Amino acid sequence: MVVIRLTGAVEYNNLNYMSRFIFAASALVCLTSAATAQQVPGRDLLEFPVGLLAEAPPISRTMTGGFWNPANAALSPGVRAEVGFAGLTTPQDEGIRLQMVGAAFRVRPSITAALSYVQASVNDVIRTETDPTSLGEIPYGTSLLSAGASTTRGDLSLGTAVRYRWASFDNVHAQSFSLDVGARLDHVAGTPLRVAASTLLLTPNHAADTPTYMLGLDAPILRRDSLFELRAGYSASRTYGRGREDYGFGTASFRQLDMSAGVSQTSVYGTVAQRLRLGVGLRYANYTVAFGREDGAAGFGASYQFLITRVFR
């Protein structure tokens, strides 16, 4: 254990604060990754778009906590804190459930601290031997705890998050640590184009976990004062050793109503699938309530999700 004592009152700017956070988090990942000797199960469960509601993963700010992009945890001016919950469910024949809770707190004028927790599981995985007779259920699930910080300078937001994931499949139990980074630029070269990039489950040892790299952009195609805005964009994600997703989407905001729609095309192990995503949300007072739907694949029915957030000013 190393203890560092600071004496005196020293002023640091926000970028130095973030640099120290990233350095400490990197050291933690390097020290703990060596302890992980096998691939942690349940990685496929974290590919469901929980908390996104038909928005692009690196761009979406609907769900608090910055799970998909640590930079998006940065709070808007005048907001002290935000908390939220999101849940996703698939049809009974697939039996997948995901829940997410997130929170963000302003700790300095331009620094936001964030926490998020995601739990995913599959129900009714039946154990059998030589005949269809059930011998009980096989537990299959994973949990992911994240702690991060983000800072905003003008149109640029930067963030990083340390993550700890644990999972079980039957009698196999494993865990891993990862360090993720993200960035969002709201106006590129003075234009209304918005660009964002982030990672998910980035580890030094890919045998321990499977990282995803995400890039997204969008721009307004129609705007009328502050009452109505229509944006269109594209995002791409690549998961190491698994496949890719390309996503074209559009979002619209009218007063307190938000709507989003898009088409996702995934290519996993040579299998290509297209799915339609839809989302609608209502902002009232300091609350946001939203619902989302995504088409199923491989003969499964659609998945649905619910989201609610609360802002504290």
Structure confidence at residue 132 as a pLDDT band (50, 70, 90): low
What is the CA angle 276-251-301, rounded to 5?
A: 20
CATH of domain 14-312: 2.40.160.40
The whole-chain average pLDDT of the chain stands at: 85
- CB contact at 8 A, 34 and 176: no
What's the confidence (pLDDT) of residue 8?
41
Highest-pLDDT range among 125-129, 134-138, 175-179: 175-179
Q: What type of residue sits at position 131?
A: D
More confident residue, 225 or 256: 256
More confident residue, 297 or 312: 312
More confident residue, 224 or 198: 198
Mean pLDDT, to the nearest integer, of 158-168?
96
Spatial distance between the Cα atoms of 241 and 214, rounded to a whole number of angstroms: 15
What's the confidence (pLDDT) of residue 271?
85
What's the confidence (pLDDT) of residue 23?
43
Mean pLDDT, to the nearest integer, of 241-268?
94
Structure confidence at residue 125 as a pLDDT band (50, 70, 90): low
Give 135-158 pLDDT, tens digit per residue.
457 889 999 999 999 999 999 999
What's the confidence (pLDDT) of residue 18?
54
Whether 193 has a pLDDT exceeding 50, the answer reads: yes
Mean pLDDT, to the nearest integer, of 182-190?
94
Model-level pTM?
0.83
Structure confidence at residue 121 as a pLDDT band (50, 70, 90): very high
Distances (CA, A) of 133 to 35, 129, 136, 160: 39, 8, 9, 48
| Residues β-bridged to residue 142 | 120, 167
Structure confidence at residue 75 as a pLDDT band (50, 70, 90): very high
Task: State the distance between the two ends of the chain, measured CA to CA, in whole angstroms.
Answer: 39
What's the confidence (pLDDT) of residue 65?
96
Structure confidence at residue 172 as a pLDDT band (50, 70, 90): confident
| Residues β-bridged to residue 277 | 262, 294
Give 32-59 pLDDT, tens digit per residue.
443 344 578 999 999 999 999 899 999 9
Whether 28 has a pLDDT exceeding 50, the answer reads: no
Spatial distance between the Cα atoms of 139 and 172, rounded to a whole number of angstroms: 10
Per DSSP, the residues of 163-218 read: EEEEEEETTEEEEEEEEEEEEEESSGGGSS-EEEEEEES--S-TTT---EEEEEEE
Query: What proportion of the chain, given as a percentage, has pLDDT over 70?
Result: 82
What's the confidence (pLDDT) of residue 207?
67
